[in-house]
Structure 1
Amino acid sequence: MKAEQVIPILRIFDYQKTIEFYIDWLGFEIVWKHYFEENAPVYMEVKKENITLHLSEHHGDGTPGSRVFIWGEGIADYHKELIEKKYKYNRPGLEKTFYDAIAFTVDDPFGNKIIFNEKFDERKHKDLNFYPIH
C-alpha cells in the first residue's frame, strides 16, 4: 500500500469558534463545507499549504482531545506570525524538543492539539529564543 494523503478528522462544537481559531488565527482556508440539511452539523475541509484537516460537528466523528503531529519547515517564522496576532486564547511557547526538533503546540477550543515541528538545525536555529509554554 502507498498512502496518497492522510487527513485527520477533528471534532469541533462551535462553528464561529472554529472560524476564529483555524481560519482567522492559524491561517487555514475553507476548501469546502457540507450540511446534510438546514440546522445540521457542519463537516468541512480546511487547508494551509500541504496541511489538510477535516473538522466535524457530527457526533462520533473524532474524539475531543485528539492530537495531530506535523513535520514542516519555517516553524519559527510561523510561530512568530501567530504570536504577533496576539490571539486571546492561545500563545504557544517555542521549544527545543528531546527528539531534536523545534516545536510549538496549539490547543483548539475543543481540546484538540496540533503540534508543529521542524528538525533542529544548529546553524539555522542558533539564534532562536525558546519560550516557556503557556
Structure 2
Amino acid sequence: MSLEACHPALGIFDVVLATSFYLQWLRFQLDWEHRPENGGPSIMEVSRDLAVLHLTEHYGADHRVHVFIGIDDLEELHQEISERPNHNMRPGIETAAWREEFMSVIDPFGNRLALIQQSS
C-alpha cells in the first residue's frame, strides 16, 4: 500500500489577488482554471515542482489552512523570493524546536504555507 501526493484545496476570495501571490510572487505555475460563465466561483490548480494546490472561491472552502511543503533547498527559495519584495510579507528562515528549518508564508486569505527543509 502507498499513498500518493495530495492536493489540498485552499479557500480564496479574489482570483486576482491569488494570482499575484501564488503565480507572480511564489512563482507557482497555473495548471488549469475553471471560471464559470455565469460568474460562479472559480477554482484553479497551481503547482511548482511536486507541490500542487487547488485554490477555490467556492462557498464553504476553508481559509486559514496550514499546508506543509517539503523543499530541498530552503535557502535558495528564501533568496529567490527576497529578490521579489512583497510589502505584506518578509519571511525568514526559522528553526523549529526539533531542529528542522522552515519558512512560513501567509497568503492574503489567511492560508499558511510552511516550507520545510528536507534532510539530505
Gap runs ≥5 in structure 2: none
Output the TM-score relative to the length of structure 2: 0.93
**Distance in 2, Cα, partners of 1:64 & 1:2:** 29
Gap runs ≥5 in structure 1: 122-134
Partner of 1:88: 87
Aligned-pair CA distance for 1:39 = 1.4
Answer with 1 or 2: which has the greater Rg: 1
SS of residue matched to 1:90 = coil
Contact in 2 for aligned 1:101/1:117 (Cα 8 Å): yes
Cα RMSD (Å):
1.4
Amino acid at match of 2:111: N
Aligned residues, how many? 120
**Distance in 1, Cα, partners of 2:34 & 2:107:** 21
Aligned-pair CA distance for 1:70 = 1.3
Structure 1, residues 82-122: CA drift from partner, whole Å, max 9, x if none? 1111111111111121122111100000000000011467x
**Distance in 2, Cα, partners of 1:57 & 1:99:** 36
Tell me whether 90-99 or 22-31 shows the greater mean CA deviation.
90-99
Output the TM-score relative to the length of structure 1: 0.83
Asked if residue 32 in structure 1 is aligned to residue 23 in structure 2, the reply is no
